[in-house]
Amino acid sequence: MAPDDEIGERLRQLAGGSAVAIRLNPREYADDYFAVLNATLRDVGSETNAHTIYVSVTNPASLVWSLAQALDVDPTRLSFVDAISHIMMNYRDPLPNATYVESPRMLEDIMLRIEYLLRKHPSPRQILVIDSVNSLAIHNPQDLLSEFFHILVNNLKSRQVLTVLLVVSEDTGSELNQMLGLVVDESIEVVRGRQ
């Protein structure tokens, strides 16, 4: 368990190519989510020569981008693959640093967009954040999702990309936990000053 001020430090200590699941408490989701954004986008994402690709499946890229601006994240260090804005009908003003996918069901398209952004923004420290595994599980069959994560995470590990998967802890069934256990190297549970 990591207090929110230690999440960024724990992530900085992970070697390139690591995959980590960060577990958020559903009763403290908004606060936990902001703490994770602070750690991933500002603390780790602001490292020298770092670039973060944020795959938005739960929250539209426009919301994440407004939170990133509040955290003073450099816009040149952040790109988005937005897979939720179309189905939420929240696609009025597309972001210039985002690429849009029609649905979270388009897993192959999501992988291709990630590949495109990795090539477009080559950097020594690449970070990929997916919010969230639970949302992808709602939209996709378990076997397809398992194959997606196996291919994606192993590809990212071989390319030394730090992969951060957000998970709502109490909404994760045994099959999803089993799948995560096969692809992640470590799990961090967010504890924000709670006793």
| 15-68 pLDDT per residue, tens | 889 999 999 999 999 999 999 999 999 989 888 889 999 999 999 999 999 999
Q: What is the pLDDT of residue 104?
A: 96
CATH number of the domain where residue 84 is located = 3.40.50.300
Contacts 24+ apart (CB under 8 A), 59-65: 59/33, 59/84, 59/131, 60/84, 60/85, 60/88, 60/90, 61/85, 61/95, 61/98, 61/100, 62/90, 62/93, 62/95, 64/37, 64/131, 65/95, 65/97, 65/98
Residues spanned by the domain of 117: 2-191
Q: How many domains does the chain have?
A: 1
Amino acid identity, position 146: S
| 131-182 pLDDT per residue, tens | 999 999 999 999 999 999 999 999 999 999 999 999 998 766 788 889 999 9
Three-class secondary structure of residue 183 per DSSP: helix
